[in-house]
Amino acid sequence: MLDKTFDPKAIEEKHYQDWEEAGVFACDPNSDKVPYTVMMPPPNVTGSLHIGHALNHTLQDILIRYNRMKGKDALWQPGTDHASIAVHMVLEKKLHEEGTNRFKLGRKKFLEKAWEWKEYSGNTITSQLRRLGTTPDWERERFTMDEGLSKAVLKAFVKLYEGGIIYRAERLVNWDPERQTVISDLEVIQKEQKGKMWHIKYPVEGDVEQFITVATTRPETMLGDTAVAVHPDDARYKDMVGKSVVLPITGRMIPIIADEHSDPEKGSGAVKITPAHDFNDFEVGQRHNLQMISILDEHAQLVKEDFIPKEYQGLDRYKAREKILHELEDQDLIVEVETIKNTIPVGERSGVVIEPFMTKQWFVDTPTLAKPAAQAVRDGRTRFIPQQYENMYFAWVDNQIPWCISRQLWWGHQIPAWYDKDGNVYVAENEEDAQKQAGAGVTITRDDDVLDTWFSSALWPFSTIGWPDDTAELGRYFPGDALVTGFDIITFWVSRMMMFSLYIMDDVPFKDVYIHALVRDAKGQKMSKSKGNVMDPIDLIEQYGTDAVRFTLCAMAAQGRDIRLADERLQGYRNFATKLWNASRYCEMNDCLSHDGFDPSTAQYAPNQWIIHEVKAAAQEISQAIEGYRFNEAANAVYQFVWGTFCDWYLEISKPLLAKDSKAADEVRQTTSWALHQILILLNPFMPYITEELYAGFFKKDADDRLITAAWPEYSDNLSNEAAKTEMEWLQTMVGEIRSVRADMNVPAGAKIALLIKGANAQTQSRIESHKDVICKMARLSDISLTENVPAGAVQTIVEEATLILPIADIIDLDEERKRLTKVIGKLDADIQKIDAKLGNEKFVKNAPEEVIEEQKSRKEEALAKRTKLEQAVKQLQSA
């Protein structure tokens, strides 16, 4: 006998081990089944999983389990990402605490530590995923820096280089002066802050009285100014264009140029141009062939060069700013200091203010790659679900700027480029090939830098299944069926997989991209480690059990809406697990655990025919919802069916049938068992543990028989039975009506009443005949009989054509009953009036579809008939 309460902890580990040992997660490249592929977004090896991962992996697991049960050869490809810069953050913080840094430690030792960390973190993540009950093909687990994927990275780099897609160039990039590396545009976030704007006078050449005022938030960069720009149409400055100004402090002469970048509306209409330290100014510099003066080094300190005044050399950028402001003030060159709100670029991970910086870096020509990537989505070869996310994708992909892929870090894929002493570049998969290119005897050294993390993850959909080798898996599982991910990495990852996949594989990487909600904290904020508002899914699992956590996430995963996780929901779905547990317990107690040889299509009794019909309907609803990625609907459908239909009605109906040892009892036992079995299957993708446990206890045939590998049900048409459904809906209305009247009239719950029915037609009479026991039990009646005479002071209610009469004048308040009846009649009148208004509207009758009009008419008929009967009831009450 099962315990009264379900204890998730007692069973989860046991089943997971059993599944894994049985090898049921594995795909089979030699199988003749239809393949179904989901590529797991590889979690970063930077610690542990958060609740967003739990959602992401739960949804993928539901898809995988469902398709596996549908008889497909399911591949869920797992793995982890090396997360170059994020791991650097973790390790460098540790080193800092130990009083050292990566440069003192050296590259080799640092990488050893990184690999140690990877082992530790990777194991944490995979064990957490196991606790979530997820079923990827662990045997195939990959890591973005393992041997095979590293080979793929080299191959891809060389191919892209040879195709002219990867190139090296000197550009202005986003420099993180603390991490000492370039970062991509996407890794820069704009942070709003209170700042100051200084309006500074630049003296015009040859005229001590004349000045041009420029405004800036970064006065220190004036040391690198190489022009002042005004708008070509700006009358104020027309005469000045072509002249020069004397740059204060340095005394350098810089030209006044005309460029549309300058906005006459803003400030004085003149703007200082510092091409080496501002992205817009860089563009202006290009247009006017201006000199570029880099005044900062990689630490964001002023360089020790002659064009920087001695006393400024080596100063930190902010110290330099103060000093410059002092000096300008002394020279009376500051016109105004304005307090403004502005945004400053900050490194997403380091939090340090980013410096635009001139360096030579490697780039991917994403503007070229993006075109086919955009087209593939426009053509529908890859579709986004929900579709609205296509906008986000297009917004990004249609406005590509070259992707800087080199990083001055150590943990990652070292760039396969070698240089000779003259700076010639040799790109090859290995040093031998590079040497061959360079020629014997030429000394070559490899580029120190590594690739942006997203370079290797962009190859994930094919590198994990063998590329560049021509493996069976590659042919079979590429392109994938579904990618499940959050919208926040459409730009980082999805678009880059699309671009690389189309270039390298000449195909899209996946057919569907399902974008799920973001799990937010109580305030609706995005969870992130830096904000410290992450929720640990393992804590929730400890508290509520894995099944409840999974079910909650699934039930809340409505398309296009974010999730704010609420404790009550988790409790509710934990209760649902307990409900199922107890329903099973009921089945166990009543010997409803066997249906060998039972053919549901031969069921004779209406309640059985009905629940069989309902099982089929629920299964269809669940299947369709999963296939449409409407996870919340799938969860609600199964919840509603199990609790609202099976437990609340079918099991309750079964009680009197089983108690009486009726003719139907045996069929009820088999049907109940069958239905429970179906429920376990249908619920398994959502709640894998409790269903597997119950299955093991009740239906397991042999050691190799598991629910996880059960076939998803396909029911034949002859299981549908509309007649039984109608009949049982009538029964539910009967019971509901009586219960409702009893409660309204405060009839003691224990009082058993003899129900009289007036005006029942033949069908109703026969239905009463067959379901008398059930109705009596459920509505707490002692008997049901037909009558034509209404006893005085009886309570009456109407079900279809029949009037139900409860002769309980002695235990109720007749005034109350009169009020109740009047209220019901009032409602009917309101309904009738509404319908009359519609039917009286010529336009409605002319334009509305026939069936709508008919529906209104029949609804009116019904209401009228009911009202007539109720009015009679009121009269009879009066005469009592």
Among 253, 751, 852, 880, binds RNA (CB under 7 A): 852
- The helix/strand count (H/E) of the chain reads as 28, 29
Minimum CB distance to RNA, residue 196 (Å): 9
Q: Which is nearer to RNA, 150 or 571 (CB)?
A: 571
Minimum CB distance to RNA, residue 323 (Å): 19
**CA terminus-to-terminus distance, the chain:** 55
Spell out where 220-354 has E strands: 227-230, 244-246, 253-258, 270-273, 334-347
Q: Which is nearer to RNA, 340 or 792 (CB)?
A: 340
Q: Which is nearer to RNA, 149 or 657 (CB)?
A: 657
Of 4-23, binders to RNA (CB under 7 A) are: 4-6
262 binds RNA (CB under 7 A): yes
Minimum CB distance to RNA, residue 377 (Å): 15
Distant-in-sequence contacts of 332-337, Cβ < 8 A, 24+ apart: 333/200, 333/201, 333/202, 333/248, 334/198, 334/199, 334/200, 334/201, 335/199, 335/200, 335/201, 335/213, 336/198, 336/199, 337/196, 337/197, 337/198, 337/199
Owner of token pair 């700006």: 234
* Element spanning 864, H or E: helix 850-879
Q: Which is nearer to RNA, 144 or 552 (CB)?
A: 552
Q: Which is nearer to RNA, 308 or 735 (CB)?
A: 735
Minimum CB distance to RNA, residue 30 (Å): 41
Of 767-796, binders to RNA (CB under 7 A) are: 777, 780
Which tokens belong to 787?
């009558």
- How far from the centroid of its chain's Cα atoms is residue 414's Cα? 32
For residues 280 to 309, the per-residue mask of contacts with RNA, x marking binding by CB under 7 A and - elsewhere, is: x-----------------------------
271 binds RNA (CB under 7 A): yes
Please tell me the distance from the alpha carbon of residue 550 to that of residue 208, in angstroms, as a whole number: 75
Of 525-554, binders to RNA (CB under 7 A) are: 525-526
Of 217-236, binders to RNA (CB under 7 A) are: 217-218
Q: Pick from 652, 651, 656, 660: which is nearest to 592 by CA?
A: 651
Please tell me the distance from the alpha carbon of residue 805 to that of residue 799, in angstroms, as a whole number: 11
- How far from the centroid of its chain's Cα atoms is residue 16's Cα? 25
Residues 420 and 444: beta-carbon distance below 8 Å: yes
Of 587-646, binders to RNA (CB under 7 A) are: 589-590, 632-633, 636, 643-644
Q: Which is nearer to RNA, 345 or 791 (CB)?
A: 345
Of 506-525, binders to RNA (CB under 7 A) are: 524-525
- Which among 12-20, 28-36, 617-625, 742-750 is the span making contact with RNA, rule CB under 7 A? 742-750
Minimum CB distance to RNA, residue 158 (Å): 29
The three state secondary structure string of 317-355 is HHHHHHHHHHHHHHCCCEEEEEEEEEEEEEECCCCCECE
Of 156-185, binders to RNA (CB under 7 A) are: 185
Q: Which is nearer to RNA, 168 or 739 (CB)?
A: 739
Q: Which amino acid is at 653?
A: I
Please tell me the distance from the alpha carbon of residue 246 to that of residue 524, in angstroms, as a whole number: 52
Q: Pick from 62, 139, 77: which is nearest to 691 by CA?
A: 62
Please tell me the distance from the alpha carbon of residue 55 to that of residue 47, in angstroms, as a whole number: 17
Please tell me the distance from the alpha carbon of residue 496 to that of residue 389, in angstroms, as a whole number: 16
- Which among 287-295, 461-469, 797-805, 851-859 is the span making contact with RNA, rule CB under 7 A? 851-859
Among 77, 216, 501, 678, binds RNA (CB under 7 A): 216
Among 558, 696, 824, 825, binds RNA (CB under 7 A): 558
Of 821-840, binders to RNA (CB under 7 A) are: 831, 838
**Burial of 679 from C-beta contacts in 10 A (0-12 / 13-18 / 19+):** buried
860 binds RNA (CB under 7 A): no
Residues 863 and 831: beta-carbon distance below 8 Å: yes
Q: Which is nearer to RNA, 64 or 683 (CB)?
A: 683
Q: Which is nearer to RNA, 439 or 644 (CB)?
A: 644
Q: Can you spell out the DSSP letters for 31-100?
A: --SPEEEEEPPPPBSSS---HHHHHHHHHHHHHHHHHHHTT-EEEEE-EEB--HHHHHHHHHHHHHHTT-
- Which among 322-330, 460-468, 579-587, 764-772 is the span making contact with RNA, rule CB under 7 A? 579-587
Of 636-695, binders to RNA (CB under 7 A) are: 636, 643-644, 647-648, 651-652, 655
127 binds RNA (CB under 7 A): no
Q: Who contacts 217 (Cβ-Cβ below 8 Å, separation ≥6)?
A: 195, 196, 197, 198, 340, 342
* Total chain residues near RNA (CB under 7 A): 92
Minimum CB distance to RNA, residue 299 (Å): 23
Among 45, 51, 166, 215, binds RNA (CB under 7 A): 215
Q: Which is nearer to RNA, 275 or 466 (CB)?
A: 275
Q: Pick from 500, 510, 507: which is nearest to 152 by CA?
A: 500
Minimum CB distance to RNA, residue 844 (Å): 4
- Which among 100-108, 122-130, 138-146, 841-849 is the span making contact with RNA, rule CB under 7 A? 841-849
Minimum CB distance to RNA, residue 659 (Å): 8
Of 719-738, binders to RNA (CB under 7 A) are: 736
Give the number of C-alpha atoms closer than 13 A to the C-alpha of residue 594, restricted to the C-beta side. Answer: 5
Owner of token pair 């569907």: 512
Q: Which is nearer to RNA, 421 or 523 (CB)?
A: 523
Among 162, 233, 263, 305, binds RNA (CB under 7 A): 263
Minimum CB distance to RNA, residue 278 (Å): 7
Q: Pick from 183, 582, 564, 609: which is nearest to 403 by CA?
A: 183
Spatial strand order of the sheet with 795-799 comes to 781-787, 753-758, 802-806, 795-799
Among 146, 507, 744, 773, binds RNA (CB under 7 A): 744
For residues 480 to 499, the per-residue mask of contacts with RNA, x marking binding by CB under 7 A and - elsewhere, is: --------x--x--------
Of 327-386, binders to RNA (CB under 7 A) are: 342-343
Q: Which is nearer to RNA, 31 or 343 (CB)?
A: 343
Residues in the chain: 880
Among 583, 776, 798, 805, binds RNA (CB under 7 A): 583
- Which among 67-75, 163-171, 741-749, 805-813 is the span making contact with RNA, rule CB under 7 A? 741-749
- Which among 89-97, 133-141, 353-361, 387-395 is the span making contact with RNA, rule CB under 7 A? 387-395
Please tell me the distance from the alpha carbon of residue 842 to that of residue 840, in angstroms, as a whole number: 6
Query: How many CB atoms within 10 Å of residue 585?
Result: 16
Owner of token pair 């120190």: 448
Q: Which is nearer to RNA, 280 or 359 (CB)?
A: 280
Of 189-208, binders to RNA (CB under 7 A) are: 190, 197
Minimum CB distance to RNA, residue 552 (Å): 10
Among 140, 739, 772, 869, binds RNA (CB under 7 A): 739
Q: Which is nearer to RNA, 280 or 594 (CB)?
A: 280
251 binds RNA (CB under 7 A): no
Whether residue 386 is preceded by a cis peptide bond, meaning omega within 30 degrees of 0, is: yes
Q: Pick from 123, 157, 149: which is nearest to 39 by CA?
A: 149
Give the Å distances, CA to CA, from 148 to 473, 509, 620: 14, 19, 42
Of 390-429, binders to RNA (CB under 7 A) are: 391-392, 395-396, 399
Residues 805 and 757: beta-carbon distance below 8 Å: yes
Among 138, 167, 419, 586, binds RNA (CB under 7 A): 586
